[in-house]
């Protein structure tokens, strides 16, 4: 899915993450959650096997408070994710607006294509204004 995730310009200076590998994991987890429209929820398996996180990096993120244990066993939540990122509902609404926009554009092009050509030499189609 095409898109992007937001990261504060001051992230580099304001984080309490002790290791760069944990900071990179945090950024990758935000990107994964944005790509999958998961509202900031990521499974332990995704962290460990998809993002190739170490147990130490996950522990660092939990200790810093940036990653919270989810209510479901085996998942985590990125703290304040929905404060900065689009929710899955917002993403769905945006996609629907784009679909409607594209459909209207196609219909407008089709309407233009269906307009009959009027030749200036064709007097039969010119109304008498006298």
Alpha carbon distance 26, 14 (integer Å): 14
Q: In this structure, what token pair is assigned to residue 39?
A: 């509202």
Question: How do residues 33-70 score in pLDDT, each as one tens digit?
Answer: 999 999 999 999 999 999 999 999 999 999 989 999 98
DSSP string, 36-53: TT-TTEEEHHIIIIIS--
Q: In this structure, what token pair is assigned to residue 70?
A: 């989810």
Which of the residues in the chain have pLDDT under 50?
none
Alpha carbon distance 124, 22 (integer Å): 78
Q: Give the H/E segment covering residue 87.
A: none
* pTM recorded for the entire structure: 0.72
């Amino acid at each position: 899915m095409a898109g992007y995730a937001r990261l504060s310009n001051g992230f580099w200076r304001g984080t309490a993450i002790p290791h760069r590998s944990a900071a990179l994991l945090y950024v990758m987890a935000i990107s994964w959650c944005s790509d999958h429209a998961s509202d900031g929820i990521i499974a332990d398996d995704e962290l460990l096997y998809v993002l190739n996180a170490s147990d130490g990096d996950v522990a660092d993120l939990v200790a810093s408070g940036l990653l919270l244990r989810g209510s479901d066993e085996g998942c985590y939540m990125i703290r304040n994710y929905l404060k900065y990122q689009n929710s899955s509902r917002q993403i769905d609404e945006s996609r629907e607006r784009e679909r409607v926009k594209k459909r209207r554009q196609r219909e407008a092009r089709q309407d233009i294509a269906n307009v009959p050509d009027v030749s200036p030499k064709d007097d039969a189609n010119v109304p008498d204004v006298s």
